[in-house]
Structure 1
Amino acid sequence: MTAWDCDVLVIGGGIVGLSTAYAITRAAPGTRVIVLEKEAGPARHQTGRNSGVIHSGIYYPPGSLKARFAVEGAAELVKFCAEYDIPHETTGKLIVATDRAELPRLHALVQRGRENGIPVRELGPAQIMEYEPHVRGLAAIHVGTTGTCDYGAVANRLAGLATDAGTSVRYGEEVRAIGRRASAVAVRTASGSVVRAGALVNCAGLHCDRIAQLAGDDPGMRIVPFRGEYYELVPSRAPLVRGLVYPVPDPAFPFLGVHLTRGIDGRVHIGPNAVPALAREGYTWHTVRPDEFAATLAYPGAWRIARRHWRYGAGELRRSASKRAFTDAVRRLLPVVRTDDLVRAPAGVRAQAVLPDGTLVDDFLFAESARAVHVLNAPSPAATASLPIGREVARRALAALDG
């Protein structure tokens, strides 16, 4: 009998960490798993602060982890939600070109969608109005497999299923130190608790690079936090949008631009507008952590992003400062909207992995070392793809345990 408190220790109680714990219990019943989450409950950050979209996988290069995980994950997630009575809806979405310069990129998305096995339908202006009477564009594509769900409820269900299978999910346990030996990993939390495990899984999201460093590993990247700012339509104007409406994305930047999302609660979220966050959990401009902000400023990759994308960033900052400018961006898709139709909604923060040369990591990024697996980039569509991602991380974690 080992002296470990558990076989696998998962740091992070977001949807990826909980899906990993759940997948381990299914792949290797009897494996002792502990999940440490610093907040008082699950899914308090990226998982619980997004627009709730079930992504189809149409944007992602064929053969990429994003494409594979999104296509598999969307279908599995819908079945999971149906099985456990979690609110969800398959609404479909429109990707709309509003400028002639966007038409080649729109046609390229059609081809990409078909290569990824996603059903798409090309639409002209009149057909756009059949789906969304108030949306205007030169052309669009309809993606039928896109929808929405309550990701907080999904995370809660995953936590419950993992717990039922013997996992211990411990909230309010922030990791402060990690020690590693050939035979075990030991983690000390802010409460003074020490947990010894055969293998460590880092699913810490906004803090994943810091956790990797605590474990003695060089992640080769840093998290640069970007705040996604949202508005929503006032209730009387929510009927202007039936489902999901997206612009044609900018291929040079991994954010999808300001889009319209009717959630499962009937509210229409609009956004996100992506701006630098002044803290890893900086959900407003007033939330500043000087040590975290200074670390971002000191990172060469952050400066290289600024030089490379300053024009894009200037537009995002302008929309952050001016509700009228934000409304103008929305009006490209929804011309009837007025400034008074929009009210502020809660923001989210994206844990964007950035390489030292300023490259924004655009796919899932994993790193492994002795007795440790690090999830260093889990961008959208991580929530959609949480079930296959959990299986992939679980596979790696069990291999680290055996090794």
Structure 2
Amino acid sequence: MWQPIVSSTRHHGDVGGEALKVRGDGGYDSDVLIVGGGIVGLSTAYAITRAAPGTRVVVLEKEHAPAVHQTGRNSGVIHSGIYYRPGSYKARFAVQGAAEMVRFCAEQGLPHEVTGKLIVATDRSELPRLHALVQRGRENGIPVRELGPAQIAEYEPAVRGIAAIHVGTTGVCDFGAVARRLARLAEDAGASVRYGSEVRVVGRRGSAVAVRTARGEVLRARALVNCAGLYSDRVARLAGDDPGMRIVPFRGEYFELAPERTDLVRGLVYPVPDPAFPFLGVHLTRGIDGRVHLGPNAVPATAREGYNRWTVRPGELAGTVGYPGTWRIARRHWRYGAGEIRRSLSRRAFAEAVRRLLPGITPQDLIPAAPGVRAQAVLRDGTLVDDFLFAESPRMVHVLNAPSPAATAALPIGREVARRVLAHLGRESEGGARSSLSGV
């Protein structure tokens, strides 16, 4: 027997205990509701309108513009896919998505540049990991070139290292501009993008799905797609589904090089990453606007939208601290985390990390830049989910984990999610809502 779903949290669903009734009479306002107006949600809307013209799509975004959070708060790198396990969603979608993103930007007249990047070893202990990246890149079909110190200087005269690899397919763009263009293209094809529409309640019965927004508006559809990013796990629970994971937010802190020092970096320079942790370390990124970003430093955030250390939402913080997976991460990675926190508290320590790649940089060369927050899916055992994570239940498709390189891979991810939700629209009614997900 179907039961109405009422949120257990004030921030995303408490409407005074009033349950949302879902009619079973086929009175739909749309065919597909998409929760979240970041680049993945908007790419999904765009893909649906292209794959199935005439499908009625409504995107619900709680902010008053698209791409306000993860999409609009990153370094703008179009990733090649070199880091990711062959055969994984990340590897397949990043390689495909990088080429498509460059082509999309060119066709739409959006600013972009294929710069290539260096991954630089500064210590002999990093050489085995660097060589492993060469092999992984080749397995993923990515052209890579191995470099010695003199060849590093040909690309980046101010960078120092003992060995490096050059990845020619990496580039930069403005992902916020991409998201805005996807929104416009989807709307031109008949989709509706509604801003200021935070989803508070979700209900489901048979072939009907409904949501109530913070404004009190009720919308009914045949299927729902959850692209809520930092709140993807909460939206899944609002729908009565157990996501089997929790979003643990990590704040990414950036600096910029002072304008008179930006000539020290021509393109993109990365350290050799630690495979035990899903962050790439402090790297150097010349953006499409010519500014050079340094970072990010990754530290636990005290709110899901905690863009500085003074933003604390007690309920969200309690949820993170009370989650068993959080403590297991802390025990497993405390040494790595301590270094990140040290760099967060000390500009001098951050400059030391930069100097590994770019000697001569001083704390005075660093200017604070806009931070971001990464939505990292964590399992109860403390495992950091290292791939895109999709899950489905009747009339629902959830995008539960879409960290970097999700912006790079937005176009193929959107098609994948569109394929899944359109398959739901083609099925007969599957009865009442289930309480657990079938993940893929």
Question: Residue 388 of structure 2 aligns to which amino acid in structure 1?
Answer: F
Corresponding residue for residue 316 of structure 1:
340
Corresponding residue for residue 31 of structure 1:
55
Is 1:82 matched up with 2:109?
no
The structure 2 residue matched to 1:373, chosen from 390, 393, 397, is 397
Question: Residue 94 of structure 1 aligns to which amino acid in structure 2?
Answer: L
How many residues were matched structurally? 403
The structure 1 residue matched to 2:134, chosen from 110, 124, 140, is 110
In 2, Cα distance between equivalents of 1:234 and 1:39: 32
Corresponding residue for residue 294 of structure 1:
318
- Please report the RMSD computed on the Cα atoms of aligned residues, expressed in angstroms: 0.7
Q: Deviations over 1:95-118 (max 9, x none)?
A: 000010100000010011111110
Task: Name the TM-score, length of structure 1 as normaliser.
Answer: 0.99
Corresponding residue for residue 276 of structure 1:
300
CA contact (8 A) 1:134 1:336 kept: no
- In the TM superposition, residue 5 of structure 1 has moved relative to its aligned partner by 0.3
In 2, Cα distance between equivalents of 1:377 and 1:69: 14
- In the TM superposition, residue 338 of structure 1 has moved relative to its aligned partner by 1.2
3-state SS of 2:371 partner: strand
- In the TM superposition, residue 183 of structure 1 has moved relative to its aligned partner by 1.6
Question: Residue 50 of structure 2 aligns to which amino acid in structure 1?
Answer: R
Is 1:209 matched up with 2:233?
yes
Task: Name the TM-score, length of structure 2 as normaliser.
Answer: 0.91
Question: Residue 147 of structure 2 aligns to which amino acid in structure 1?
Answer: L
The structure 1 residue matched to 2:91, chosen from 51, 67, 73, is 67
Is 1:190 matched up with 2:219?
no
- In the TM superposition, residue 402 of structure 1 has moved relative to its aligned partner by 1.8
Q: Deviations over 1:281-305 (max 9, x none)?
A: 0000010000000000110000100
Question: Residue 416 of structure 2 aligns to which amino acid in structure 1?
Answer: E
3-state SS of 2:296 partner: strand
In 2, Cα distance between equivalents of 1:46 and 1:375: 14
In 1, Cα distance between equivalents of 2:423 and 2:302: 38
In 2, Cα distance between equivalents of 1:309 and 1:65: 25
Q: Deviations over 1:363-391 (max 9, x none)?
A: 00011000000000001100000000000
Structure 2 unaligned spans of 5+: 1-24, 428-440
Q: Give percent identity, aligned residues only.
A: 80
Question: Residue 294 of structure 1 aligns to which amino acid in structure 2?
Answer: A
In 2, Cα distance between equivalents of 1:195 and 1:151: 29
3-state SS of 1:309 partner: helix
- In the TM superposition, residue 145 of structure 1 has moved relative to its aligned partner by 0.3
Question: Residue 18 of structure 1 aligns to which amino acid in structure 2?
Answer: L
3-state SS of 1:228 partner: strand
In 2, Cα distance between equivalents of 1:175 and 1:206: 13
CA contact (8 A) 2:307 2:371 kept: yes
Structure 1 runs (4+) greater than 2 angstroms displaced: none
The structure 1 residue matched to 2:77, chosen from 53, 57, 63, is 53
In 2, Cα distance between equivalents of 1:179 and 1:241: 52
The structure 1 residue matched to 2:119, chosen from 86, 91, 95, is 95
Question: Residue 171 of structure 1 aligns to which amino acid in structure 2?
Answer: Y
In 2, Cα distance between equivalents of 1:381 and 1:296: 24
- In the TM superposition, residue 400 of structure 1 has moved relative to its aligned partner by 1.6
3-state SS of 2:373 partner: strand
Corresponding residue for residue 388 of structure 1:
412
Is 1:260 matched up with 2:266?
no
- In the TM superposition, residue 339 of structure 1 has moved relative to its aligned partner by 1.0
Question: Residue 398 of structure 2 aligns to which amino acid in structure 1?
Answer: H
The structure 1 residue matched to 2:259, chosen from 230, 235, 248, is 235
In 2, Cα distance between equivalents of 1:255 and 1:49: 16
The structure 2 residue matched to 1:218, chosen from 205, 230, 242, is 242
- In the TM superposition, residue 199 of structure 1 has moved relative to its aligned partner by 0.2
CA contact (8 A) 2:26 2:208 kept: no
Q: Deviations over 1:183-202 (max 9, x none)?
A: 20010000000000000000
CA contact (8 A) 1:11 1:35 kept: yes
In 2, Cα distance between equivalents of 1:2 and 1:218: 26
Q: Deviations over 1:86-144 (max 9, x none)?
A: 00000000000001010000001001111111010000001000000000000000000
Question: Residue 103 of structure 1 aligns to which amino acid in structure 2?
Answer: L
Question: Residue 361 of structure 2 aligns to which amino acid in structure 1?
Answer: V
The structure 2 residue matched to 1:353, chosen from 371, 377, 383, is 377
Question: Residue 190 of structure 1 aligns to which amino acid in structure 2?
Answer: A
Is 1:120 matched up with 2:144?
yes
Corresponding residue for residue 161 of structure 2:
137
Corresponding residue for residue 331 of structure 2:
307
- In the TM superposition, residue 227 of structure 1 has moved relative to its aligned partner by 0.2
3-state SS of 1:346 partner: coil
In 2, Cα distance between equivalents of 1:159 and 1:188: 22
- In the TM superposition, residue 2 of structure 1 has moved relative to its aligned partner by 3.8
Corresponding residue for residue 11 of structure 1:
35
In 1, Cα distance between equivalents of 2:360 and 2:315: 44
Question: Residue 110 of structure 1 aligns to which amino acid in structure 2?
Answer: V
Question: Residue 164 of structure 1 aligns to which amino acid in structure 2?
Answer: D
